[in-house]
Amino acid sequence: MKKTLSKVGAILVPVILCTSLAFTAFLSIQLIDDLQGNARVVNYIGIVRGATQRLVKKELNHEPDDNLIKHLDKILDGLSNGSDEFDLIKLESQQFQSLLVEMKNDWNHLKTEIHKYRSGLDNQTLFEMSEDYFELADNTVLVAENYIEERVQSARNLLLIMNSVFIVMAGGCTIFTYYQQRRQQRIIEIENENIRKSEQLARRAQQLLAPMNEISEMMYVSDIDTYELLFINDAGKRIFQVDDTQKSLKCYKVIQGFDEPCPFCTSSLLKMDETHSWEYTNPLLKKHYLLKDRLIEWDGRIARMEIAFDITEANNEKKELKQRLKRDNIRLECIRELYHNRDINMAMSNILKQIGELFLADRAYILLFHNNHFSNLAEWCREGVEPQIDSLQDIPLTGYEVWVSELEEHKDIVIDDIRELKNKLPSGYDFLAQQGIRNLTWVPLEKDGHLNGCIGLDNQPLNMSKMAVPFLRTVQYFIALTMERNENEKTLFELSHLDKLTSFYNRNCFIQDVADMSHQHESVGVIYLDVNGLKETNDNFGHDAGDKLLKACAEIIKRSSTSKYLYRIGGDEFVVIYMKISKEEFEYNVQKMKNNFMSSQCRVAIGVQWTKDSQDIQNIIKRADELMYSNKQEYYSTHKTTGRYRHDKTLQYLSNPDILDLKISQGQFHVYLQAKIDVKSCELVGADALIKYKDDSQFIQSPDKFISILEDSHQIDKIDFFVFEKICQQLQEWKNANKKLFPISSHFSRSTFMKSDFLERLETTVELYDVPKKYLEVEITENMFTTNYKEVKERITQIRSAGFIVSVDDFGIESSNLALLATAQFDILKIDKSFISDVVSNKNTRTVIESMVDVCTKMNIKLIAEGVENKEQLNVLKECGIRTVQGFLFSKPIPMIEYEWKYMK
């Protein structure tokens, strides 16, 4: 029996030992495979993080990469479920899988945000979301590493337990079989077993080191007390040029190049079973790494293991992204400052400060070119740098034409070292060196497509110019817009507050200032002036002569006055206001002004008034106006060469706007029509309208009695448009009654015709009454062309383009007849009755009329003869070729109702 047991024992022990060996080998292989798979999972998570970071950068640079997105989708699916393509296993960790699900969800959100950003939304959300995603990836790596460590520890424990069980079984069998007989042999077998175990452990250690050498990231193990380098993988050996022959190497010497332990060593921060992550730029390699540190057991002692992931490129991209965002934010701040700050000098200084600080320059400035010179418009200097703005004013461009030429060609000027100019452009070198400039960047500043100056930076780091140029090019556009806006605002202010002809304040400013003065309690003196003879000067010599007269008067006023309140409130009216002035001093200034006018060729009517309280300034101005008007009447009563102020004074009350409006509303102005007749058929072809006034005594006043009054008081436009509206109203009634319509002409004075809203008022009236424009003639007199010819011509073109008929009245009483026919464009020409009066007896007159008929026929202008009073005149005009006439032979001007009864039935 013992013998049998011995045989069984002899067989059983090897079987147990072989089983143990096979099982242990199998577990080791499984453990290695598991470690490799788990290591690939960690590695691919790092790849996901890096690739996502690169994707975000591309998207922010507007470089879409949908292939990379699809590749990341595959990797995330492989990490979740395993993948043969990437040789990935599914990590059976609930926490890891939960984080992976969260990563996939965040990745889907991130893809959605990428598509939003591609459609034009802000990049800030994308940037923030990507940062959160990278943090989540780091946490996922950490969980995976923890899980791997737990699996390694579990496998190690299992292996130890199983080996122990097999050893116990083998030992029991050995004891049972050979307890007595072969004790010595059992001891030998045990020793052999130990040898085999040692060999197995050695092989396992080599197998564990193999994946460490296979990974591309640098990895090393060092003693936490002595800093001795215990292990460095193949990647580390290659990077730091370490070979196996070197012994007792220190980690700080090999890895960092230090002669003593690193002051930032993390050994004191490490805890067992925990990974410490941090970033550092290696001074030897000049690369930035993400470092993973952990305490491990190595050859029976606690050691520090570190894995280094090279994230230099990603870190540089991150820095560049932050810098770009910073530049974008400052660019927006500059634009916002230029837009909101109405003080252009302060706005320029503020944006130059931001630009100079952004690009680390010593100076930032704006140079403007003008009249072959340049000047420093605005400047910012770093603390300790001497400003140059005062010395850079009105500098001739001579000697710097090469720079100006490049800027005019829309080229940027970047000089990295001004010493390059010493031989090429000595004058430029001296100019820059005197200012302490070592290098500079200039970007052209343009206005309306032409060079207007440049924006520059001095002494910035050399690597900054590439980023500064596109930034400055964008900002210069908004600087140019701001400068243009500033010029427009100045022009607008001048147009709304200054009289362009005299540079005095205008009526708008006058009204505002008077309103402000009325709230004060100061003494005030008012001088009201009106230029005598301005209308006659305009009529006889043209508006240019009238303008010269006005400027001469304004110059006398300016020279005679110590006040800053100088106004031109009308065509020929000026007002001077003195504030805080005594009556004696005011009277002295008034007399001084009168004396200066008396010694000049200018003649003015003056009214003056003074009061001690400016609250009553409105009445003071009114009283001064009345005194001026009386003075003006005295002047014209002694100057019979003009017809001005020789009208019936009984109608002078019509100059009051309120009274005129009352008389119009009471129906005291009446429109009369005079028929236009076709000479062949003697049928009606149109009418000419004029206005008459029925005074309070029921006497009908002709236009020559009140028109000049309305012109002098600037009320004539009310009557002009009153007549025009009455014509439109009458044409509407005839149209509604299905009566045949004929064109009716309405006369407009020069002041009404040249108002900026003239055409708009015509259009509004016509639209109100729905009258065809072909029945409406806008009539002006020939003498209107003697001044402002270009403006009158442009206005006629506008009116004709709108569909109205334009006729010229009184042709033949001025000296510009031929020029008018040669250059002006109109529809109807009316021969003045002064031509018609002697047409029967004067052969030359007939010859002229015949020529006019021929010319107008060729130019498609309708010719009408006015003032036909007898049949002899009519017959001669027929022979001359005249087709249309008007005059007392057919009808005098009659009221509209009589005209309708006589002609429209």
Quick: pLDDT tens for 432-457: 999 999 999 999 998 888 889 999 99
Q: Above 80 in pLDDT, residue 872?
A: yes
Residue 271 three-state SS: coil
The pLDDT confidence band at residue 639, using thresholds 50, 70 and 90, is low
Find tokens 């080599």 and name the residue. Answer: 206
Cα torsion 238, 243, 248, 254 to 10°: value is -20
Helix (H) or strand (E) holding 623: helix 617-637
Residue 643 or 173, more confident? 173
Residues 6+ apart with CB under 8 A from 757: none
One-letter amino acid at 707 equals I
Determine contact, residues 511/496, Cβ cutoff 8 Å. no
Q: Above 70 in pLDDT, residue 788?
A: no
Q: Above 70 in pLDDT, residue 548?
A: yes
Q: Is 816 exposed, middle or buried (0-12, 13-18, 19+ CB in 10 A)?
A: middle
The pLDDT confidence band at residue 638, using thresholds 50, 70 and 90, is low
Domains identified in the chain and CATH numbers: 5-180 (1.20.120), 217-317 (3.30.450.20), 341-495 (3.30.450.40), 528-638 (3.30.70.270), 649-903 (3.20.20.450)
Q: Above 60 in pLDDT, residue 817?
A: no
Spell out the alpha helix ranges (H) of 649-706. 657-665
Sign of torsion, CA 278 283 288 290?
A: negative
Residue 353 or 17, more confident? 353
Residues 6+ apart with CB under 8 A from 686: 675, 676, 742, 743, 744, 745, 777, 884
pLDDT tens for each residue of 380-412: 999 999 999 999 999 998 888 888 898 888 889
Determine contact, residues 472/455, Cβ cutoff 8 Å. yes
Give backbone dihedrals phi and psi of 274, rounded to 5 degrees, phi first: -130, 145
**Average pLDDT in the 506-515 region?**
87
The pLDDT confidence band at residue 770, using thresholds 50, 70 and 90, is very high
The pLDDT confidence band at residue 824, using thresholds 50, 70 and 90, is low
By C-alpha distance, which of 610, 626, 539 is closest to 576? 610
Q: Which of 3-12, 376-385, 474-483, 629-638 is the least confident region?
A: 3-12
**Average pLDDT in the 814-832 region?**
66
Determine contact, residues 354/444, Cβ cutoff 8 Å. no
**Average pLDDT in the 568-590 region?**
92
Q: Which of 191-205, 609-623, 767-781 is the least confident region?
A: 191-205
Paired tokens of 541: 């010599």
pLDDT tens for each residue of 348-369: 999 999 999 999 999 999 999 9
Residue 455 or 601, more confident? 455
One-letter amino acid at 891 equals S
Q: Above 70 in pLDDT, residue 801?
A: yes
The pLDDT confidence band at residue 11, using thresholds 50, 70 and 90, is low
The pLDDT confidence band at residue 650, using thresholds 50, 70 and 90, is low
State how far the Cα of 765 lies from the Cα of 770, in Å rounded to an integer.
8
The pLDDT confidence band at residue 156, using thresholds 50, 70 and 90, is confident
The pLDDT confidence band at residue 714, using thresholds 50, 70 and 90, is confident
Ramachandran area for residue 837 (φ above 0: left; ψ -120 to 50: alpha; else beta): alpha
Residue 773: per-residue pLDDT = 93
Residue 129 or 378, more confident? 378
Provide the β-strand partners of residue 746.
Answer: 778
Residues 6+ apart with CB under 8 A from 432: 415, 418, 421, 440
Residue 380: per-residue pLDDT = 94
Q: Above 50 in pLDDT, residue 640?
A: no
Q: Above 70 in pLDDT, residue 815?
A: no
Q: Which of 9-23, 50-64, 439-453 is the least confident region?
A: 9-23
Q: Is 113 exposed, middle or buried (0-12, 13-18, 19+ CB in 10 A)?
A: buried
**Average pLDDT in the 618-643 region?**
75
State how far the Cα of 587 lies from the Cα of 608, in Å rounded to an integer.
9
One-letter amino acid at 139 equals N
Residue 723: per-residue pLDDT = 95
Q: Above 50 in pLDDT, residue 2?
A: no
> How many CB atoms lie under 10 A from the CB of residue 468?
25
DSSP category for residue 252 = I
Find tokens 């005074």 and name the residue. Answer: 695
**Average pLDDT in the 684-697 region?**
90
Tell me the average pLDDT of the chain: 84
The pLDDT confidence band at residue 554, using thresholds 50, 70 and 90, is very high
Residue 789: per-residue pLDDT = 65
Q: Above 90 in pLDDT, residue 590?
A: yes
By C-alpha distance, which of 134, 132, 113, 19 is closest to 60? 113
Q: Above 70 in pLDDT, residue 20?
A: no
